[in-house]
Amino acid sequence: MSEVIAVMRENSQVYIETHQLDSPDCMEILCEEVGADRLVFGSNSPLTYFLSPYLTLKNSDIPESDKALILGENIERLLGGKLK
């Protein structure tokens, strides 16, 4: 994860997708180091179970507003509008 943080600090256009972040403290560290606005939720579904990455995010000790960014607001912003 240290390499990811280093690259993200050097390049503001780099985002990380979350499906391989397997512990709640990963979310906390990344939010603190690079900001929740640089994380995009990913589950790798249907190749893997959806619930594991989702619960990792939901159980992390970050504000609900950061969770909302990661779960959908960031990707909507990146794609230029609402996805509904």
Tens-place pLDDT, residues 10-68: 999 999 999 888 777 999 999 999 999 999 999 988 888 899 899 999 999 999 999 99
User: Is 60 exceeded by the pLDDT of residue 79?
Assistant: yes
pLDDT of 58: 93
pTM reported for the whole predicted model: 0.88
28, 34, 40, 45: CA torsion to nearest 10:
-50
The pLDDT value recorded for residue 33 is 96
Smallest CA-to-CA distance from 73 within 28, 44, 41, 31 is with 41
| CA 47 from centre of chain | 19
pLDDT value at position 17?
A: 94
* Helical axes 2-10 vs 24-33, angle rounded to 10°: 30
